[in-house]
Homo-oligomer: A and B are copies of this chain.
């Protein structure tokens, strides 16, 4: 029992919170005043509540959702630390997303929105040996590597020669469970365990070349799809990428990737 009770305004100034916030925290049960006058509805806070209130303010400052803060206040130290670590990870993820976004914006601001030369052309038929996998959009990088490390050794062991560059096939839409494939062009081989052979049909395509990090591929696809749709054409899965200059040969900024979208021939 130290000191008397404080009105909401005084308590708010104390804890660097707004009166509105305190009322909101009361409603949601995050921090209820120790006493509410039955007649007037006035809220009264005890000085001891300042610790919780300040903690709330601190955690809000770090952008934790109120729901998480509520858990953290109620939890034991160990599980609290667990919660905070989870939030840190969430934040770390946001940071890396923001950094990628920032680089894209940078590029957009420099090069402008066009920046990509889209060519309408014809592709020959190609026969690929492929390895497939299913993944979410965020995991494309790892999954791609995993496919490569399945594909190339098998080709090597089977003595199948292939012609660079490496290819990849993607669906038209990035879905939660999308099937991707990594392939190498070859005319050899037929029945090889662990491998599959596909023939990409020849025909009209729209294509462009992207130079730079894979994180910025959406910029190129944007231009590419825009060009396709503007002409009233229908793209056809799968979209093809050819890795003219890959990560093994050059730094991030000098990667070269050819993006190819096959076009539906019929007007159906």
Residues in chain A within 8 A of chain B (CB atoms): 2-4, 13-16, 47-48, 50-51, 54-55, 57-58, 61-63, 77, 80-81, 84-85, 87-88, 91-92, 94-95, 98-99, 101-102, 104-106, 108-110, 112-113, 173-174, 218-219, 222, 225-226, 229-233
Contact = CB atoms under 8 A, between A and B. Distances in A.
Given A16-B174, A58-B222, 10 more contacts: A2-B230, A15-B229, A47-B229, A47-B232, A55-B113, A55-B222, A62-B101, A81-B109, A81-B112, A95-B95
Contact of A91 (B50, B92, B101, B113): B101
Given A3-B232, A113-B55, A229-B14, A95 B84 contact: no
A218 B60 CA distance: 12
B95 A102 contact: yes
Contacts of A16: 173-174
Given A62-B104, A218-B61, A226 B55 contact: yes
A225 B50 CA distance: 8
Count the copies.
2
Contacts of A99: 95
Given A14-B229, A58-B219, A173-B13, A102 B80 contact: no
- Where chain A touches its partner, the secondary structure class is helix
Contacts of A106: 88
Which of the listed residues A15, A87, A174, A222 has the most CB atoms from chain B within 10 Å of its own CB?
A222
A63 B94 CA distance: 12
A157 B75 CA distance: 57
Nearest to A51: B226
Nearest to A87: B105
